[in-house]
A and B are shown apart, each in its own frame.
Chain A
Amino acid sequence: MTGTIARRLASIVPVMCIVAICVFLLLHFAPGDPAAIMAGDNATPQNIAAIREKLGLDQPVWRQFVVWVGNLLRGDLGTSLFWGDSVTSLIAQRAEPTLSLALTTIALAVVVAITLGVVAAARVGSLIDRVVMGFAVMGFSVPVFVVGYLLIFVFAINLKWLPVQGYTPISEGVGPWLQHLVLPSFALGMAYVALIARITRATMLDVLAEDYMRTAKAKGVAAAPMLLKHALKNAAVPIVTVVGNGVALLIGGVVITETVFNIPGVGRLVVDAIARRDYPIIQGVIMVFSGVYVLVNLLVDLSYTLFDPRIRG
């Protein structure tokens, strides 16, 4: 087990190296000039050239890359070109809202989607099954921002039940914190629920068709324990895999959701940074997101041992 974890951790290194190279090259070969944006619309070419020189943006790309990688190896993600703050501190400031949104969305999605998937599988072919699958198709098809605006219109503007936008830290009370997360979590969770519900239903149908399930039924095991204890546990590995892979979907969705609901998270940080070509922030956030994605998938792999004793050996 320890050897497996060590090997998996070691495999992260080349992945992150490739990500670092791709991120840097893509950004620096993409058009745009932070110095020109920084200088303002009334600036002359001389002003812009002076700023570019001060920021080191006039240096050859390879030299900028060497400096960035050197800093990265020391754990320094760099400094924002605009604010002068360290990228690490900016990400740390924004981590709580993003973490809150991601965790509430995952919790909501897992509970709702697994329930829907199990119910749909148990009642396969019924109206409930069709409704659940119809919802899954819709959840996958409608973009996050459309769902977000609809939720704002109905629940924030018309019914006035929930706030339109913003984020309240959990330190100011769980109530206000949750109030600000309900709509974004629903908006962000739609596609995630759809994905997990479909996989849950399909996997549950496979498991329910197994001989041992028929045996359990013949022995008189009640429906609920049979579904939850016997079927769901054996269907867990593919579901957990999808939950892990879906983190990529979640990361992409976080960026849009935070913009629509004005949540000051890491997603907003990177969107704003892209608009003004604040390279260190974009590079830093992508490195962090990539690291999170790789680690989540490592945890998913390790979690298989919780559900399937055969993998522990």
Chain B
Amino acid sequence: MKATRRTVMGGSLATVGLATAPGILHAQARPSAARTIRAVLAGDLATYDPIWTTADITAYHGAMVYDTLLGTDANNVPQPQMVKGWAISDDKLTYTFELRDGLRFHDKTPVTSADVVPSIRRWMVRSGQGQLLALRLADLSAVDDKTFRVRLKERFPLVLDMFATTCTPDLFIMRKREAETDPMQKIDQVVGSGPFIFNQNETKAGTQYVYDRNPDYVPRGEPPSGIAGGKVVKVDRVVFVNMPDAQTAVAALQSGEIDFYEIPPTDFLDQLQDDPAVTVENLYDLGSMGYIGINWLYPPFNNLKCRQALLHILNQEDMLRPTFGSPKWYRTCGSYFTCGSPMENDANTGWFKSGPNIALAKQLLAEGGYDGKPIVMLQATNIAYMANAATVMAEQLRGAGIKVDLQPMDWANVVARRANQSPPDQGGWNIFFTSASGLANSTPYMMAHLATIGTKGWFGWPTDEKNEQLRAQWMSAETLEQRKAIAAQIQENAWNIVPLLHFGQWIQPVAHRKNVTGWLHEPGLLVFWNVEKT
């Protein structure tokens, strides 16, 4: 066939037609915009299995689709959710739970103890908290379809707290089929019994994740509080939109194209607060704690004196201000536990109260034998608070005579690099930056990074037997007063051995359209029940 301009044009039009045909075939009715919430969250939903990963966004997805046995209320007290109630034996070694009526998975099958038991078992493998429970577990079994029992080897007062946790991975209940998946493998179907149904057909991985109201969900009768109480859904659909560009997300919120933005950068907060159609609100009351990982395996920070020197160099205010601007969004915090949480205390915080003391730091470095070799500091340049904190801290360290090899890279590279236990000049590191949720940092057991179990522990690999003994005591304590007293001892010890550093605490407010109301305040989880659009 002879190629002419006409045939070329005709072929091009046919190609466009073929490319668009699938969209035409799959077009279907959707709930109206007035009954749909479009939310931009902090990142993309990279996996659908909320037990397999600790990523916050997957926990949000989990809270939409799955239900939990218990839920923490606004005061962080465990309350019944899927369970009707529980009984604790007199010796406090046996917990018997009974499931409430009306629980059904999205495939219409009833939720039974046969689903609950493997769900707990899988969670115990993946979760740091679950692993602590597993160590103390004598038996976990289904008594009948609605009753299951937990028997302990020793008293463990945190059973209810762990079943209600919002510190990832949360204990979401899955069907037996998914719950029996190898804990190291991801589940292959998303079928829960929660207040929303995952709409796989309308979901486009990497772009948008669609959740439709579950018409069969029976909420509890109590008013909502934290993630406890009735999960009453007041919209037809929620869409998690993946929108990586902050400026675009802010513009989309202001123009009404999205309803909710989880992490508006602080640079934009004043602009958003001035917009009459937008509300800036803090949903995560305990905020986040800036975390500085210190490598205990290699010089100079394998030396106690050199680690202690860091306490006297650090200036949190200078590290926070470049990122968060106004003090209304951040504060310095000398407590080992999250400021504002029940475990906050001021044991051994003289270094913090007196502020930086460079002369003392230099003396400690000299006593610790610092030899002037550059320390390797990992700087994630694509996350503003980490990039700024690293730049400022590098200058603070240089001011105290420490040579710093500041190595810029993206966050993906930091997470790979920080796992490397080689010497710093052979691919390892000395210091890296991240953050922990204020909730997770408010107790000594929720996060792996507060354990001091050497190379089997979290990045930095501190080793300290006393800290481990105190953590165990805290977990066995039965009253808040006992826990507070032990928390002060943990802190006293921690600021002596310096397993890690904090560079302050900040609040990341969310921004939403003013006509979208009813947001529940829960430190570890973002939930969309009770939210309505008027």
Contacts and interface: CB of A to CB of B under 8 A. Distances in A.
Q: Do A and B interact with each other, yes or no? A: yes
Interface of A: 31-33, 36-48, 50-51, 54, 80, 82-85, 90, 93-96, 99, 103, 149, 152-153, 156-157, 160, 163-166, 169-172, 259-262, 264, 268-269, 271-272, 275-277, 302-303, 305-306
Contact of A261 (B248, B436, B448): B248
Interface in B384-435: 409-413, 415-417, 419, 421, 434
Contacts of A45: 419, 421, 455-456, 459
16 contacts: A37-B412, A42-B128, A45-B455, A54-B185, A84-B188, A96-B22, A152-B251, A156-B251, A164-B248, A164-B251, A165-B252, A260-B245, A271-B244, A275-B410, A302-B3, A305-B3
B386 to A, nearest CB: 12
Given A45-B459, A306-B8, A93 B413 contact: no
A15 B482 CA distance: 70
Given A83-B46, A171-B27, A269 B434 contact: no
B255 A36 contact: no
Contacts of A43: 53-54, 448
Interface class of chain A by DSSP: helix
Contacts of A302: 3
B184 A96 contact: no
A171 B53 contact: no
B14 interface: no
A43 B448 CA distance: 8
A80 B457 CA distance: 29
Contacts of B47: 38, 82-83
A42 B448 contact: yes
B19 A50 contact: no
Given A31-B409, A170-B20, A164 B252 contact: yes
A23 to B, nearest CB: 18
Given A51-B184, A84-B186, A157-B255, 4 more contacts: A33-B415, A40-B53, A165-B251, A261-B248
Contacts of A36: 415-416, 419
Contact of B184 (A54, A84, A149, A264): A54
B221 interface: no
B257 A166 contact: yes
A264 B458 contact: no
Contacts of B449: 42
A171 B20 contact: yes
A264 B206 contact: yes
A62 B204 CA distance: 33
Contacts of A269: 206
B55 interface: yes
A275 B381 CA distance: 12
A96 B46 contact: no
Contact of B255 (A160, A169, A171): A160
A121 B3 CA distance: 30
B242 A31 contact: no
A95 B22 CA distance: 11
Which of B3, B417, B421 has the most chain A CB within a 10 Å cutoff? B3
Nearest to A166: B257
Which of B44, B205, B255, B455 has the most chain A CB within a 10 Å cutoff? B205
A44 B440 CA distance: 15
Contacts of B44: 272
Contacts of B457: 44
B4 interface: yes
B257 A163 contact: yes
Contacts of B126: 47
B168 interface: yes
A90 B257 contact: no
A90 B205 CA distance: 8
A37 B16 CA distance: 37
Contacts of B255: 156-157, 160, 163-164
A58 to B, nearest CB: 13
Given A259-B244, A275-B412, A303-B8, A165 B417 contact: no
Contacts of A85: 205
Contacts of A93: 204-205
A271 B382 CA distance: 13
B206 to A, nearest CB: 5
A99 B16 contact: yes
Q: Which 3 A-B pairs have the closest CB atoms?
A: A40-B54, A33-B416, A264-B207
A84 B168 CA distance: 22
Nearest to A39: B53
B412 A276 contact: yes
Contact of B204 (A153, A259, A264, A305): A264
A218 to B, nearest CB: 30
B112 to A, nearest CB: 28
A90 B206 contact: yes
Contact of B251 (A50, A157, A264, A277): A157
Contacts of A275: 244, 382, 410-412
B245 A41 contact: no
Contact of A165 (B5, B20, B248): B248
Contacts of A32: 410, 412-413, 416
B408 to A, nearest CB: 12
B23 interface: yes
Interface string B2-20: 0111001000000010011
Contacts of B242: 272
A111 to B, nearest CB: 14
A189 B168 CA distance: 45
A156 B248 CA distance: 11
Contacts of B5: 306
